[in-house]
Amino acid sequence: MTDSKNDTERSHPKDPLHGISLKEVMTQLEENYGWEELAELIPINCFKSNPSLKSSLTFLRKTPWARTKVEALYLKSKANWGKYK
């Protein structure tokens, strides 16, 4: 099951987000940063005002510029998770 049209465009095997849903990206970011820190890193209302996974996914699926920022943060962060534990 795909999240949006963008997921079908991610069929190239060299794409680092290939096979990773937006829900999975957001879940991992929320678990690692929490909503407050996410709102500081990416200042959008769906992270600041009454944040939830559902409202964030809805907004990000409709707003390509915000989704791009979230995906970039995920890729940057994923490379560093666990390095300093």
For the chain, the domains span: 22-78
**Per-10-residue mean pLDDT, the chain, length 85:** 49 78 96 95 94 96 96 90 63
List the structure tokens of 70.
Answer: 């979230």
Write the DSSP assignment of 9-41 as a string of letters: H---TT-TTTT--HHHHHHHHHHHHHHHHHHHH
The CATH number of the domain covering residues in 22-78:
1.10.720.30
The residue to which tokens 């829900």 are assigned = 23
pLDDT at 56: 96
